[in-house]
Amino acid sequence: MTTQAFEQFIGGAQGRSPFASLGLAVSGGGDSMALLHLAHAWLSAQKSQGALLELSLHAVTVDHGLREEAKAEAAMVAEVCAGLGVSHDVLTWSWDGQGNLQDAARRARYGLMADWARARGVDAVALGHTLDDQAETFLMRLARGSGVDGLAAMRADWQADGTRWLRPVLVTARADLRDYLTARGVAWAEDPSNQDPRFDRVKARQAMGALADLGLDAQRLADTAQHMTNAREVMERHAAQAARRLCQVKGGGVAFDLAGLTDEPMETQLRLFAHAMVWVSGADYRPRLDALQEAMTLAAFGDRRTLHGCVIEGDLERVEIHREYNAVRRKRAAVGEVWDGRWVLEGPDRQAQVRALGEAINGCPDWRQTGLPRRALMASPAAFLGDELRAAPLAGLANGWVLTPVHPDDHFFTSILSH
């Protein structure tokens, strides 16, 4: 069943969007080692059957520098890959001590692998997440009070960071993958942190035994997560339709018709409000629910609030969300490069620097004619040569410069739907 499930997934993924090279994230643990051998066995079988399949495998290991054993595990993976004829690279990362360690490591891992995939010309990167990971993630999010979105199933095929990501063994139990390796005499490494009760995932894993007695085994929890995914799709479609009626996108910000917004179910209001803040700020995650609700309420009564790198303000008719100046005032980019993940400013002076307009808005005599709030324009990109303002297109000072958004305005509406 393990081999069949993998073959069905890869065949379906190839049918949806064919790829010529497949990256494999291999840490040396049981799940990822099974992924490596399943992929190699599948490709070998395809070739032995005379399939005209031009596909190459490339493995990658990320060493977070957090455990002494990691280097030996990466060397073990390299040796196995060499025996299989699969290319292998090791990527390294070191924590700067800022923020949550596990979250920082996860972000770094995906970022490093995305960069590696682009440099290698890898079309898709496969991850070894299993049915058990699906169930454990559901439990952890349930404990945090997550709503429908948070409880929805992990995606099996999606795009992020300019890379296609796949989870070919997401419907396979962890134990089945280890049985697969054992039957073939393949060894794997055990990460001791997987037994450390300080981590939420380990607590969830330990709780699974007791929950199974109630019928809440991994399969049941994973099925429930899929039900949540189905519910999320309905909510997203309604929100996308409502957004077309209620939202206006201008200058990188989003404005809501307040009367129309408050006529929508609270779930739709929160979904649109959160999406607007994520879209304007470029953040990976939506704000906390309590902070989101408070900001919505204050804006509806005409109060101003900063949240998630955005300024939220309104009156009795409209609520507007724009980028916050303090969130971007230290960001810098060269002419022609992406600034704040959202804009590209190009012009005649290649020696200029792109940064937030800020108080230099006083040098833009026509800014009021743009129809955009002063605070929003202060957070918009401008070209400076030293301290001299050369251009600020959103504020009405173009001077031959051209400002292009990374995403067109319509992206706000289309990106409401999960992909």
- pLDDT tens digits, 214-260: 889 999 999 999 999 999 999 999 999 999 999 999 999 999 999 99
In the predicted structure, residue 6 carries a pLDDT above the cut 80: yes
300-356 pLDDT, tens per residue?
A: 888 889 999 999 998 888 999 999 999 999 999 999 999 999 999 999 999 999 999
∠ CA 315-276-299 to the nearest 5 degrees? 20
At 196, the pLDDT band (50, 70, 90 cuts) reads: low
71-122 pLDDT, tens per residue?
A: 999 999 999 999 999 999 999 988 777 767 777 888 889 999 999 999 999 9
The single residue listed with the structure tokens 């079309």 is: 123
pLDDT of residue 419: 58
Tokens coding 174? 């962890």
Backbone angles phi, psi at 19, to 5 degrees: -135, 150
φ/ψ region of 339 (left if φ > 0, alpha if ψ in -120 to 50, else beta) reads beta
Distance CA 170, CA 230 (A): 17
At 126, the pLDDT band (50, 70, 90 cuts) reads: very high
Domains defined along the chain, listed by start: 2-223 (3.40.50.620), 251-323 (3.30.465), 326-405 (no CATH)
Q: Are the CB atoms for 375 and 322 separated by under 8 Å?
A: yes
Share of the chain above pLDDT 90, in %: 73
378-417 pLDDT, tens per residue?
A: 999 999 999 999 999 999 999 999 999 999 999 999 999 9
What single letter denotes the amino acid at residue 328?
Answer: V
Q: Is 335 in a helix, a strand, or coil?
A: coil
∠ CA 73-98-165 to the nearest 5 degrees? 50
- The CB-side HSE value for 112 (13 A sphere, CA atoms) comes to 18
In the predicted structure, residue 139 carries a pLDDT above the cut 70: yes
E strands, 218-273, are 247-250, 253-257
Mean pLDDT calculated for residue range 123-143: 95
